[in-house]
Amino acid sequence: MNMAYLLTGGNLGNREENLQKACALIEERCGKIQSSSSIYETEAWGMRDQPAFFNQALALQTSLLPAELMRELLAIESEMGRTRTVKMGPRTIDIDILLIGDQVIHTDLLTLPHPAMASRRFVLLPLSEIAPALVHPVLHKTISVLLAECTDPLDVQKKSPAAN
């Protein structure tokens, strides 16, 4: 079993409902969610002219190999209406694998740790809520230290408390 750390997000439709549905599908098909962060609202990163995102970090205990997990998460995104027409554009759901233990992977399908996680407050803030002492396997810093060092100016606001 591996502990995978995921970030779910979306800015189309009922954002909170979409995060809940994604969690249910992840648990049904990928493993047991051990903990989940509060839901955070964040202005769009990259392509700014779009609705704000809701994001939530998840700690998932899974027996799937990293590539299998990635393929399953992509299938869940597709089933939930995710279309990839505009890079960083609006979406119903986005499910990123941030870390799986201390694994470092670079393939066409998957890069671990997530290459941009250390520079994005909307990733680090919810992740620090559920795993502040987790160490980034390349940067060798804890999530709480990465958050303290993060210079991302985007506003990230807690919308609802963690479910567990």
Catalytic member of 15, 29, 48, 96: 96
> CB-based contacts of 1: which residues, under 8 Å, 6+ apart?
31, 61, 62, 63
Could you give the CA distance from residue 35 to residue 14 in angstroms, rounded to a whole number?
22
Residue 96 annotated to the active site:
yes
- CA 29, 34, 40, 43 dihedral sign is negative
From the CB of residue 21, how many other CB atoms can be counted at a distance below 10 Å?
Answer: 19
Q: Among residues 48, 49, 94, 152, which one is catalytic?
A: 94
* Of 15, 82, 120, 121, catalytic: 82
- 29 a catalytic residue: no
Closest CA to 33 of 66, 65, 8: 8
- Coil, strand or helix: which one is 34? strand
**Alpha carbons 83 and 48: distance in angstroms, whole number:** 18
Q: Helix, strand or coil for residue 110?
A: coil
Q: Is 94 a catalytic residue?
A: yes
Copy the structure tokens of residue 18. 């979409």
The one catalytic residue among 48, 71, 84, 91: 91
What single-letter amino acid sits at 3? M
82 is catalytic: yes
Active centre residues (catalytic): 82, 91, 94, 96
